[in-house]
Amino acid sequence: MSHDRLTDYAVTLLRVSLGVMYLAHSIVLKLFTFGLPGTASYFESIGLPGWLAYLTFSAEAVGGMMLVLGIYARWVAIALLPALLGAIIWAHSGNGWVFNAPGGGWEYPLYLVVLSVAQFLLGDGRYALRPTLAPR
């Protein structure tokens, strides 16, 4: 198997796993674990408007599915960065680095930022339903 083909598979693996993580963070955590009203209350408790929880949930769920399917994946990965940066700044920055800190640390959203930027730079990988053109 050629190096280029292996790279295509690696980029696909990155895209699908990143999409699954966004889906887990939206569907499993925000919807099923805390509920959307509970998530909105949390947003309000840290000084954000409650409606932003619904927008964040929608962006993560739709964006995660688009990543898994390979629909404009590189642009979706970049479009989801504001939610991650917001999570770092407003939700996790005061909690410290590691995930087991009360309220969760900021290493996980930062890691997703790095992976999302890598996805943008690498492209869509193989088996993308709607690949994007490379940035020029």
Give strand pairing partners of 71.
130
User: 35-59 pLDDT, tens per residue?
Assistant: 999 999 999 999 999 999 999 999 9
What pTM was computed for the model?
0.90
Q: What percent of the chain has pLDDT over 70?
A: 97
Specify the pLDDT at position 57. 98
Q: Is the pLDDT of residue 67 over 80?
A: yes
Q: How many other β-carbons are positioned within 10 Å of the β-carbon of residue 79?
A: 16
Specify the pLDDT at position 127. 87
More confident position, 79 or 1: 79
Both tokens assigned to 102: 């009360």
SS (H, E, C) 45-57: HCCCCCHHHHHHH
